[in-house]
Amino acid sequence: MQRYSGFGLFKHSLSHHENWQRMWRTPTPKKVYDVVIVGGGGHGLATAYYLAKEHGITNVAVVEKGWLGGGNTARNTTIVRSNYLWDESAHLYEHAMKLWEGLSQDLNYNVMFSQRGVYNLCHTLQDIRDSERRVSANRLNGVDGELLNAKQVADEIPYLDCSKNTRYPVMGATVQRRGGVARHDAVAWGFARAADALGVDLIQQTEVIGFRKENGVCIGVETNKGFIGAKRVGVVTAGNSGHMAKLAGFRLPIESHPLQALVSEPIKPIIDSVIMSNAVHGYISQSDKGDLVIGAGIDGYNGYGQRGSYPVIEHTVQAIVEMFPVLSRVRMNRQWGGIVDTTPDACPIISKTPVPNMFFNCGWGTGGFKATPGSGNVFAASLAKGEMHPLAAPFSIDRFHNGALIDEHGAAAVATGEIPMLHIFCPHCGELRSEEEFHASGQAHIPRPLDPNACTDEQWGDYMFFRDNPRGLHHELWDHVAGCRQYFNVTRDTVTYEILETYKIGQKPQFTDKADSPKAAAQALGEKV
Ligand SMILES: Cc1cc2nc3c(=O)[nH]c(=O)nc-3n(C[C@H](O)[C@H](O)[C@H](O)COP(=O)(O)OP(=O)(O)OC[C@H]3O[C@@H](n4cnc5c(N)ncnc54)[C@H](O)[C@@H]3O)c2cc1C
């Protein structure tokens, strides 16, 4: 690998910067690898890098259906922090934070990690109590954190409206001063370049369309360009993980939702930290180019469109302008969405699966960028040894059956912004109404077990946490909250967002996709729906 340095920069300037090496090769896939990673986002690339660097396993391929880092890694608002509430998460995210602190040197690539501090605003007394608890828990875990009162916040963030008569009064904030931002593309490219230099094959424009098994054991991946054999397979496909699990023959407690962000025109430096308000689902920082980088909440219903709904953005911009009136005349330049993989406890899944030799690393939802080096590091160790790394072990899929959940909804930032986007025909009112009148309530036709006490842990866990997450037809329960206040069902395509029908509870859908119909076993247990 050509090393980057000040001297190198000078040397290349003499040849007009025309002789730089490509950052990675474009290899022809081998027949078989020790490890195949599916998904060339930050987490997949970091996994490959640490497999090679720390475990000497270099016969590794990363198979990516698009281009490296083209998924959520390059779509996120790049906030990095480690101040999570529960021990399991705090340890994992702090492990990542320590790796961030030396990452540019380690990769010989400037990932532009800037520890400018991350503030989480408190708007209610309950926010203050929760924050006090979180800061105390963080300190017990060796994670830095401070709780500021309203005056301190006003002093440190003078452009924030901290006056009394605001819609979202500022009562205080937590701050993690070691938190900050990093340049997302650079993170993907830095890991890719360093992994390639250690011998990892980065195979782009190749989609995994199935998994080959022999006697139930995974022996490789089927791609749109042919079969690639593997002794172990690690799947790191974020919003597509539910679909990948379905291809492998099992279900994950994951639902895919669009999450949006937007950037403004470049303006003079004004925001020198990261400011988040979980209550209003808005967070903001300023990039080195001067753009304001603003993040929103997620759409309240499943979707695979890499865009988001307009009302979510409208709500976020409204909240940002309320909190920062000084920004009210700034024009927004671009807006986009990514598909995030949400779990019932807002924590990732880093786990073995029911298929031997196949491991999954997913469920990072709205907050996985900050974990990228840590996630790759512990996943690599797990793939290398065939046993989960101690920091990854609590994040097993089993927790949704044995009840050992790690509920990070409070600390995981923007968990669920539930603002809708369609035009929906209410079968009770008999009218087509704007979706802002409705509330999405998840998958429809879920049979409640007739006798919960007779359920096994697996049956109860399936009922509570496992939902269909299809790329295609989905039957959903909606509530006409601002209308007749009655529930009804919707059949919607999660890729095109087309609503095929709405129908009353108790009726059967006209449009069905057998593969995604509710689990037969659950149906046998439950009520008729
Ligand atoms: C708008 C937005 C804002 C966010 N803000 C933050 C933030 O501020 N801080 C934070 O910590 N996190 C944030 N996140 C979350 C964060 O971006 C993700 O958790 C993280 O980037 C996930 O990384 P990944 O490598 O697992 O996934 P990705 O980067 O999505 O990579 C997965 C890859 O898998 C590939 N893939 C999928 N299916 C297949 C297949 N069949 N075959 C081959 N390849 C496949 C995809 O093309 C993709 O490149 C945000 C996300 C979004 C969308």
Beta bridge partners of 283: 276, 295
Q: What is the pLDDT of residue 86?
A: 96
Phi-psi region of 84 (alpha: psi -120 to 50; beta: other; left: phi over 0): beta
Report residue 397 as tokens: 């899929």
Note the residue count of the chain. 529
Q: What is the pLDDT of residue 292?
A: 97
Secondary structure class of 152 (helix, strand, coil) = helix
Q: Compute the C-alpha angle 276/279/285, nearest 5°.
A: 15
Q: Is 502 in the pocket of ligand 1 (CB under 6 A)?
A: no
Report CA-CA distances (Å) from 66 to 27, 62, 92, 204.
15, 12, 29, 6
How far is ligand 1, taken at its centre, from the CA of residue 339, in Å? Answer: 7
Q: Compute the C-alpha angle 476/479/481, nearest 5°.
A: 155
Q: What is the pLDDT of residue 526?
A: 55
**In this structure, what are the phi and psi dihedrals at residue 292, rounded to the nearest 5 degrees?**
-80, 130
Residue of the nearest CA to atom 9 in ligand 1?
79
Q: What is the pLDDT of residue 335?
A: 93
Place of tokens 């991946």: 221
Place of tokens 């401070």: 146
- Give the atom of ligand 1 at the shortest distance from the alpha carbon of 296: 1
How far is ligand 1, taken at its centre, from the CA of residue 37, in Å? Answer: 14
**In this structure, what are the phi and psi dihedrals at residue 112, rounded to the nearest 5 degrees?**
55, 45
How far is ligand 1, taken at its centre, from the CA of residue 13, in Å? Answer: 35
How far is ligand 1, taken at its centre, from the CA of residue 23, in Å? Answer: 21
Q: Is 299 in the pocket of ligand 1 (CB under 6 A)?
A: no
Q: Is 66 in the pocket of ligand 1 (CB under 6 A)?
A: yes
How far is ligand 1, taken at its centre, from the CA of residue 409, in Å? Answer: 19
Q: Is 47 in the pocket of ligand 1 (CB under 6 A)?
A: no
Distance, CA of 135 to CA of 23 (rounded, Å): 41
Please say whether the beta carbons of 63 and 221 come within 8 A. yes
Q: Is 76 in the pocket of ligand 1 (CB under 6 A)?
A: yes
Structure letter (DSSP) for residue 449: B
For the four alpha carbons of 130, 133, 138 and 144, in that order, the dihedral sign comes to positive
Burial (Cβ within 10 Å: 0-12, 13-18, ≥19) of residue 410? middle
Residues in contact with 367: Cβ distance below 8 Å, sequence separation at least 6, in sequence order: 79, 412, 413
Q: What is the pLDDT of residue 417?
A: 45
How far is ligand 1, taken at its centre, from the CA of residue 238, in Å? Answer: 5
Residue of the nearest CA to atom 41 in ligand 1?
208
How far is ligand 1, taken at its centre, from the CA of residue 479, in Å? Answer: 30
Q: Span 423-524: which CATH code? A: 3.30.2270.10
**Helix-helix angle 372-385:87-101, to 10 degrees:** 100
| Strand (E) or helix (H) holding 445 | none
Residue of the nearest CA to atom 13 in ligand 1?
367
Q: Is 341 in the pocket of ligand 1 (CB under 6 A)?
A: no
Report residue 357 as tokens: 């030799």
Q: Is 61 in the pocket of ligand 1 (CB under 6 A)?
A: no
Q: Which residues of 63-90 are buried (b: 16+ CB within 10 A; e: fewer)?
A: bbbeebbbbbbbbbbbbbbbbbbbebbb
**In this structure, what are the phi and psi dihedrals at residue 117, rounded to the nearest 5 degrees?**
90, 140
Would the pTM count as exceeding 0.85? yes
Question: Would you write out the chain's pLDDT as a tens digit for each of its 529 residues?
Answer: 889 999 999 999 999 999 999 999 999 999 999 999 999 999 999 999 999 999 999 999 999 999 999 999 999 999 999 999 999 999 999 999 999 999 999 999 999 999 999 999 999 999 999 999 999 999 999 999 999 999 999 999 999 999 988 888 999 999 999 999 999 999 999 999 999 999 999 999 999 999 999 999 999 999 999 999 999 999 999 999 999 999 999 999 999 999 999 999 999 999 999 999 988 878 999 999 999 999 998 988 899 988 888 888 888 999 999 999 999 999 999 999 999 999 999 999 999 999 999 999 999 999 999 999 999 999 999 999 999 999 999 999 999 999 999 988 876 655 444 444 578 999 999 999 988 899 999 999 999 999 999 999 999 999 999 999 999 999 999 999 999 999 999 999 999 889 999 999 999 999 997 544 444 444 445 554 4
Distance, CA of 150 to CA of 451 (rounded, Å): 51
- Give the atom of ligand 1 at the shortest distance from the alpha carbon of 340: 53
- Give the atom of ligand 1 at the shortest distance from the alpha carbon of 236: 26
Q: What is the pLDDT of residue 382?
A: 98
Report residue 77 as tokens: 């608002």
- Give the atom of ligand 1 at the shortest distance from the alpha carbon of 81: 11
Residue of the nearest CA to atom 48 in ligand 1?
71
Q: Is 259 in the pocket of ligand 1 (CB under 6 A)?
A: yes
Q: Is 368 in the pocket of ligand 1 (CB under 6 A)?
A: yes
How far is ligand 1, taken at its centre, from the CA of residue 340, in Å? Answer: 7
Report CA-CA distances (Å) from 411 to 127, 198, 453.
11, 36, 33
Q: What is the pLDDT of residue 436?
A: 83
Q: Is 260 in the pocket of ligand 1 (CB under 6 A)?
A: yes
End-to-end CA distance of the chain: give it in Å, rounded.
61
Q: What is the pLDDT of residue 421?
A: 57
Q: What is the pLDDT of residue 522?
A: 45
Nearest to 104 by CA among 49, 169, 186, 174: 186
How far is ligand 1, taken at its centre, from the CA of residue 137, in Å? Answer: 28
How many CB atoms lie under 10 A from the CB of residue 290? 14
Q: Is 65 in the pocket of ligand 1 (CB under 6 A)?
A: yes
